[in-house]
Chain A
Amino acid sequence: MEKYARRKLLDRVVRGACVLATVVALVPLGSVLYYVFVRGIGGIDLAFFTELPKPVGEEGGGMANAIVGTIKLVGLACLMGIPPGVLAGVYLAEFGNSRLGRIVRFSADVMSGVPSITVGLFVYALVVMTTKQFSAWAGGIALAILMLPTVTRSTEELLKLVPESLREAALGLGVPKWRATLRVMLRTAAPGIAVGIMLAVARVAGETAPLLFTAFNNRFWSSSLNEPTASLPVNIYTYAVSPYEDWHDQAWAAALVLLVMVLVLNISARLLVRHRVKAR
């Protein structure tokens, strides 16, 4: 009986350790959210969203160009990353049992583990060296490459969840396979795929490393997509490592804006998933 007590005790201890591990992991999350909010909220005013950065030493100024820049870069990434990703995902779901399918699936998984900074190096060689300038295009391409594997794999997973009977019904009505896939399967899976895309967008919106030598940075408005473009993440980095006190405050404010953008996308995507799962 004493042995049994010891076993129960060990069980308790291990359970406690597991709970503790979970709590310990969440402490940094709480701390990050707390400090970003507390130190960032002071820097948020109308000027932050409407004005250009002021030179060092001058009070005020904002990050309007970086906010617009981030939206531009993410927009370009979506334009270039989503359609190919969805089509590749359709291939994997429909014809993925072929040898090419297996190779592609594996490549996509491996690609999602490639460090984002090496993607930056790749795009630098590919785009910046050939066009001889940093540009929003280059930054957009880098982010698109980072999105691609996520979009592909989530499209595949969600298409596979659509019941085969829907396809059979469409085919039974004499619809060719390609139309059945696009109009019935893809449309049914569309809300789920949209959620996958939102998560991918939320991830790349905060990426800094691949933008450092593709989109670079800009203290002014960039008038075209062929110019260096400011972005919130790169600005946070530049301001945070600078020696100026008021730049640090701006970095916190920028972090707050970026974090809100990213978390709203991320959390609403997850809530949508939960909602859909419950509705079934």
Chain B
Amino acid sequence: MASDSNAHLPLVRSRSRVLTHLGADGNWGDFLFRRTTALFALAIVVLIAAMAIEMTRESEESIARFGLDFVFGRVWDPVRQVFGALPFIFGTVVSSLLALTIAVPISLGIAIYLSELAPGWARTVLGFLVELLAAVPSVVYGLWGIFVLAPWLRETVQPALGATLGFLPLFQGPALGFGMLAGGIVLAIMITPTISSVSREVLRAVPMPLREGALALGATRWEMVRTAVLPYSKSGLVGATILGLGRALGETMAITMVIGNRAEISASLFAPGYTMASVIANEFTEATEEIYLAALAQIGLLLFVITVLLNIVARLLVWRVGRLPQGGRL
């Protein structure tokens, strides 16, 4: 199983063994200890694999019956057993992109302010508060969305947007409150702490000499950030954004409660929509036929695969920044 990285150097290996084990070579306690902990560590990998396998099995029937039509089909009619997931994919993608559009500038502003500009006390207090945003349970955001955000959008924001930007198809249609706009805003609130805290970590990894160099050349604080800090941390910030996207795609309760849950594809942000996670949450316990369950499971599988891929890409990007040598290339 786990092999020491220097296994090919027998001399070094036996020496390090003596140093770290300080006992007879066949110490049973150490042997058991290593194997037991390794078993539990392995369990995590097994669990991820099991999820992929189990969900593929659950959705087998739907995959076999609909094939690629599943992804491109626009009709979702459980009664006639026609299952096309496009409206849900559309809803998930649009609400997540809307959330990113709102959350990324705000999160970058927070990260830059808290790591480069703010005085010490503000860093602690504001950082603490921003992270509290992540502690509020999703369902509480949903409750707030139904009774506070949606009415506010319906009565104040949407009429104003309709009057000023109503010529764009994005802002047309009746002001319902519930819909894509409400969903995007709730998601934006929920992913802001994710993006901003990962971005802060990334900015913290930027070596001090870079900042000092920029300041010594006469740069203002912002010029220092723009010319020294941001170029160095670019890929990490992209990674932070992708992590936020991953969270937005999989977020379920809050968005289910405010997006309106109608399987339609509309150009307007005022119109209700539906997301992949929401349709699973709403219909899974009501689904009785095998094929219906399989179709919902297939949506879950799609969601799983997409978020896992996004997470892999994001982690690689964030890790790269952390790994650059001190004072490494820009």
- Is A71 an interface position by the 8 A CB rule? no
Stretch binding the partner chain, chosen from B25-33, B64-72, B81-89, B162-170 = B25-33
Asked whether, in the complex, the Cβ of B304 is within 8 Å of the Cβ of A92, the reply is no
- Is A100 an interface position by the 8 A CB rule? yes
Asked whether, in the complex, the Cβ of A98 is within 8 Å of the Cβ of B27, the reply is no
Please provide the 4 A-B residue pairs with the shortest distance between their CB atoms, ordered closest to farther.
A115-B250, A206-B137, A21-B109, A178-B33
For B137, give the chain A residue with the smallest CB separation.
A206
Asked whether, in the complex, the Cβ of B252 is within 8 Å of the Cβ of A209, the reply is yes
- Chain B 111-130 near chain A by CB (<8 Å), digits 1 or 0: 01110010000001010111
Given A115-B249, A152-B44, check contact A98 B5 (CB 8 Å). Answer: yes
Contacts of A39 in B (CB 8 A): 147
Stretch binding the partner chain, chosen from B153-161, B209-217, B262-270, B306-314 = B306-314
Given A110-B48, A110-B315, A270-B128, check contact A177 B37 (CB 8 Å). Answer: no
For B285, give the chain A residue with the smallest CB separation.
A213
SS class of chain B's interface: helix, strand, loop or mixed?
Answer: helix
The interface of chain B, by Cβ under 8 A from chain A, is 1-5, 20-23, 27, 29-30, 32-34, 36-38, 40-45, 47-48, 50-51, 54-55, 57-58, 105-110, 112-114, 117, 124, 126, 128-133, 135-144, 146-148, 189, 192, 196, 220-223, 225, 243, 246-247, 249-253, 257, 277, 280-281, 284-285, 297, 300, 303-304, 307-308, 310-312, 314-315
The answer, among B29, B36, B144, for a CB contact under 8 Å with A87, is B36
- Is A7 an interface position by the 8 A CB rule? yes
- Is A79 an interface position by the 8 A CB rule? no
Asked whether, in the complex, the Cβ of B136 is within 8 Å of the Cβ of A95, the reply is no
The answer, among B27, B117, B148, for a CB contact under 8 Å with A31, is B148
Given A11-B221, A84-B43, A241-B257, check contact A36 B144 (CB 8 Å). Answer: yes
CA distance A20 to B33 in the complex (A): 52
For B261, give the chain A residue with the smallest CB separation.
A241
Most buried by B among A85, A119, A121, A209: A121
Question: In angstroms, how far is the closest chain A Cβ from the Cβ of B203?
Answer: 12
- Chain A 242-254 near chain B by CB (<8 Å), digits 1 or 0: 0000001001100
- Is A107 an interface position by the 8 A CB rule? yes
Asked whether, in the complex, the Cβ of B43 is within 8 Å of the Cβ of A177, the reply is no
Asked whether, in the complex, the Cβ of B37 is within 8 Å of the Cβ of A88, the reply is yes
Contacts of B257 in A (CB 8 A): 237, 240-241
- Is A225 an interface position by the 8 A CB rule? no
Asked whether, in the complex, the Cβ of A100 is within 8 Å of the Cβ of B143, the reply is no
Question: In angstroms, how far is the closest chain B Cβ from the Cβ of A39?
Answer: 8
Interface of chain A residues 196 through 255 with chain B (CB within 8 A): 202-203, 205-209, 212-213, 216, 233, 236-237, 240-241, 248, 251-252, 255
